[in-house]
Structure 1
Amino acid sequence: MLEDMSKDALFYNYYAQWIEVYKKDAIREATMAKYRMTQKWVEKLAPELKVCELTRTAYQKILNDYAKEHERQTTLDFHHQLKGAVMDAVDEGLIERDPTRKAIIKGKTPREKKIKYLNQFELHTLIADLDIKEEPNWDWFILLVAKTGMRFSEALAITPKDFDFGRQTLSISKTWDYKGKGGFLPTKNKSSVRKIQIDWQIVVKFSELIKGLPEDEPIFVGEEKIYNSTVNDALTRHCKACGISEISIHGLRHTHASLLLFAGVSIASVARRLGHASMTTTQKTYLHIIQELENKDVDLVMRTLSGL
């Protein structure tokens, strides 16, 4: 049983202590921050609710109130983060019956999210505008992300040792803790550990760049703390200078995937290259592109059939 916790303890206090006991040092700091945010919401929505008062109705009310300001998927995540603590409270005898049973997940209608990406001409224009110097800089970083589709934290963690120029591959096996104190961290999921093919231009350019650099140290990380906004600002300046759509570093990842899909690369191959846990993630993210491709397929089918 959690220390000094009884049936009469306030639920948000129980949950806060549960997080410290079961989640601290067991999950990534970014995930821990989400649990703590959930705790703050519980305190806001049910400040006087005691553990013993957590009935199905009381729990459903918390979910309903949370859903008023959040989309359904966010509410589902909130429910999953609460449920672990609630089930432990049931096991400890603080709650008689499982109040999460048959919980109904509601939420606001999701806003249509249109991802931003560059077309092939715009990407070509951007790459031509990059100032590729002899020393690593953010323009080198932008080039690498555009050519590989890596996540921001993955690209920061790349070391010279990760390149295999003979086989034209790049190993992605870690991330960089740019939001915390720095240092290497595991990838987002097991599927994110991968080897991807790199084109000959990257091979030629980076084989020269990394000469003399420490093999096991990140290419783009120095002594100063790195912020996502710093790199986005550098990218925005190039976009403005070129007169093309302004996108973020994450938008370059979308650009990479979009161009591959339009080129006819299979969804399965794109999913593996991006390090998605499943093709479903890829399909959901790039649904509008896939629909455009399906429309082209219909035209191709009809032209083929009419020619028989």
Structure 2
Amino acid sequence: MTEIKSYKLKNGTIRYQFQIYLGTDSLTGNEKRTTKRGFKTAKEAEIELKRLQYQIANGEIDFAPKKIEDKFFEEIYEDWLMQYQNTVQLSTLGKTKSIFKNHILPTFRSLKIRFITVDFCQKFANTLPKKLKKFKDVLNYTSLVLEYAKKRDYIEKNPMEYIDRPKPLKKINENVEEEFLEGNYYSAEELTNFLEALKKEPIMKFTFFNTLAHTGMRKGEAFALKWKDIDFENSCIRINKALSYCPTNGLYIKETKNGKPRAVLIDKDTLSFLEQWKKEQRILLKEQNLKALNDTNQLVFSNTLNAYVYPSKTNQWIKSIQRRHNLRQITTHGLRHTHCTLLLEAGVTPREVMERLGHMDLEITLKIYAHVTAEAKSRAAEKYIQYLQK
């Protein structure tokens, strides 16, 4: 039974106190007690004692001590990464690690997690737009780690939730897979000039870019093609995989962007160019003392060692061709947009375009359709004015 006791202050004043049993610590097995003191009368102490006994009996008070562990941001990041890596593809994991290494850890690594404030996060966010095009990823990943810490009671709130996120600067980002970049495609006339210039290039580059322009496939999909994927009899290319790269694991094969295989019909000229390249490839491999593999294993487009070509290599190829032939610059991915816009201008329905290009959903195709329609109207207005001024 809990006993209420009196004690004297230094000035001789009488006060009352009691010690109450709280229970057993579930982690250590030790008994837990607390002392309440400073009551002016025994009656006040008795009232408080009964109130605490009632709350403890009804589970209204959790007397387990809350121990706040001073973990550093990098420690929390490493814990978070362990569970995150089981939820994403290798390419995404590699990009995520790179973002943390280059843009997040240099600032947050040595900070104790519970001392990271909203003001600190705000200042960090404000520096990003001028340095990065995709700075939103940096903020999102930082927030994920802090949210992880919050859910595990290392911090009470996620400071990233309270910042005012800066707006991105209006710059072209060539790395966004399906974003339609203004002007990043050729007109029918420009495409004809580009393909004509390609005829002066090595046959593999000609065939590669010609295939992209006339199928709309992604460069990673083209570099994953093997000869077994091309049905010469039915004029069709089966696209069911893609070549990708991540810094930690290098080149590897993954599924297509939307996770679905597709078959793309090709024109007679494109089919003929591919047949010519297949014959020429065997000759070139023999000259390099390399053995051509069977159709099941032989890559359609390979490097000088008959291995995978790094997809980023095409950026150098296309820029070099455009400079030497005085052509307007677009990206390799711009050929995909070119195919898309020309299909839409030719009257092919957005749904048919979506299926041919393997877009994730119809919304992506419709966004491009909106751009094409707007630019077509603008060209029509310009032609009308030019006609009146004649």
TM range (shorter): 0.7 to 0.9
| Residue aligning to 2:257 | 188
- Cα separation, partners in 2 of 1:237 and 1:45, compared to 1, 3 Å: closer
Does 2:76 align with 1:7? no
> TM (normalized to structure 1)?
0.75
Shift of 1:76: 3.1
| Residue aligning to 2:343 | 260
| Residue aligning to 1:215 | 296
Query: How many residues are aligned here?
Result: 290
Distance 2:114 2:324 in 1: 62
String of CA shifts for 1:111-164, please: whole Å, max 9, x gaps.
Answer: 36533332212322333444499x972221111111111111111011122223
Does 2:101 align with 1:33? no
- Contact 2:217/2:357 (8 A) holds in 1: yes
- Cα separation, partners in 2 of 1:7 and 1:286, compared to 1, 3 Å: farther
Matched letter for residue 157 of structure 1: A
| Residue aligning to 2:145 | 85
Question: Paired residue for 2:208, among 130, 134, 141?
Answer: 141
- Contact 1:145/1:151 (8 A) holds in 2: yes
Distance 2:79 2:242 in 1: 29
Contiguous gaps of at least 5 residues in structure 2? 1-67, 173-180, 280-292, 383-390
- Cα separation, partners in 2 of 1:171 and 1:110, compared to 1, 3 Å: same
Does 2:172 align with 1:105? no
Matched letter for residue 183 of structure 2: I
Greater relative contact order, per chain length (Cα 8 Å cut-off, separation 6+): 1
Does 2:357 align with 1:274? yes
Which is further off, 48-57 or 256-265?
48-57
> Where is the helix percentage greater, Structure 1 or Structure 2?
1
| Residue aligning to 1:119 | 187
- Contact 1:45/1:66 (8 A) holds in 2: no
> Where is the strand percentage greater, Structure 1 or Structure 2?
2
Shift of 1:257: 1.9
- Contact 2:264/2:356 (8 A) holds in 1: yes
Which is further off, 84-93 or 107-116?
107-116
Match of 1:66, SS?
coil
| Residue aligning to 1:96 | 156
Which of 1 and 2 has greater Rg? Answer: 2
Distance 1:68 1:245 in 2: 27
- Contact 2:236/2:264 (8 A) holds in 1: yes
- Contact 1:125/1:242 (8 A) holds in 2: no
- Cα separation, partners in 2 of 1:221 and 1:157, compared to 1, 3 Å: same
Shift of 1:21: 5.3
> TM (normalized to structure 2)?
0.61
Which is further off, 39-48 or 269-278?
39-48
Distance 1:67 1:126 in 2: 35
